[in-house]
Structure 1
Amino acid sequence: MLELLDVSKTFYPGTVNEKKALNQINLKMESGDFATIIGSNGAGKSTMFNAICGTFYVDEGSVLLDGEDITYVKEHHRSKYIGHLFQDPMKGTAPHMSIEENLALAYLRASSVGGKFFGRISKREKEMFREKLSLLDMGLEDRMKNPVGLLSGGQRQALTLLMATVVTPKILLLDEHTAALDPGTAKKVLELTKRIVKENKITCLMITHNMQSALELGNRTLMMDSGNIILDVRGEERDKMTVDDMLDKFREGIGKQFDNDRILLSKVE
């Protein structure tokens, strides 16, 4: 479904601020894979997502999605088949527009109803929005005319998740999408995520700071450091792996201790 072939990206080349963010990354995701990604700040996790989304063009290498080379496809075109959620619940929605209008924009952007005007969402499509909102179990189906800016962070993130999947994307990128939420709300949004991904058989990459979640969610775990994928485990090896085992693998691959306090503290959450 997704292939990154020798993908590299350097920011501010030739200056004192030069930063090699991605260093000949190679990654192959099969259809239906759900991979969690963990790593220190600056490891290249979000940069890899931005390379997939087309936020910038890579310096070297290729990005292939569903067999098609999208390396130089513009970001707004990729958004039709790539879903992307951010850590900040304020991103991804228009706060002054209603819940219904936000869903309509997401639906028209990603669906095949080319040339359809914003005001021409049919009654059937509005009922479909209502039905999908009811599955969130947050009462949003009765607030479709309310501005999104009135929603709580958890409600807004759940809505953003629905917007990203209202038309099933080829791949879904989750960039610590529960990190800014309180523990109870984060758990609910994560359960929604697992259900939507499973029911729609979506290929998914999820960045997380929780090491236990990184081993329990999905079918594959990646660890990144300094623009490289240094660990890629799945199957029986992953099933038997503990958090301490993963930290040992990091130390073996890099020759140093893992130094992200936020992630290390997740061991005792």
Structure 2
Amino acid sequence: MSPSPGWIRRRLTALRTCSPRICSGAAGWCSHPTTAVCLARACYSYALRSIKTNQANIAQQPNTQKTTAVFSAGLRLELRLRLRQGLSALGALGFLAVALTAVGLTLGQYPERLRPAGPAIGWAMTVLALVYANADWWLDQVESGLNQRLRVGARDFAGFIFGRLFAGWLAALPWLLVAAWLIALFYSQPLPVALALAAGLLIASPALVGLSAFIAALRVLMGSVGVLIGAAALPLALPFVMVGVGLTETLSLAALGLSLGLSLLQTVVFAQTTRWILSLV
């Protein structure tokens, strides 16, 4: 947010000085640049003119440029936070552990009966663990006030949400590929099944990350009631589970197209809904 002229006046009156960059730009504004008072007035006038110029430039920017800038800001912020705090790695370990636990139980107890359904079980457990891991991450971010502070003055907040969701999807890609490979390896499945698992996870993961943000926003807005509503929203992931299970049988273009279209549609819906819920907080 740009500082107000009153703030600039009080700051310059107290310090009687300014940064070299502003003072050098304001040199032509003052007839007696050696006096501190005149220099402060020159700096104030120059800063005020710069603020008005920046506001005019922002107002003249096309909507596409503003949308791209806000999207890029959300993308960079999310990647930086996940890389610094390492929560994406912890979340990956979580849903990989759940998936491999399902694999171990299946192989150890009922190897013959449940072996054909093993990839589907591992895929579904990976999906649910991914949703819960990302929901906890988004909950921490929203409760910290970061989203609210960055939403102030941003007319295109939806672009910011899309940027953060896209970055969350990028951060999960390596772990999703590893999960698909491990599930196929532990079940001794052929390469087409491994490719089907990876394709299903990659296609469904954008909407699953959006679903996680939606659940976290509900928890912030409604508390314990939001937790119940968020749990009720988990069946929205069932279409991805159904399509993913179907992909393990046959890798068809029709199934891929259906899953991709459904994932993109739900991603848009979850992003817009998350934006609306956060505006109520």
TM-score, reference length from structure 2: 0.25
Q: Indicate the structure (1 or 2) with the bigger Cα radius of gyration.
A: 2
Which structure: greater helix fraction? Answer: 2
TM-score by structure 1 length?
0.25
More strand by share: 1
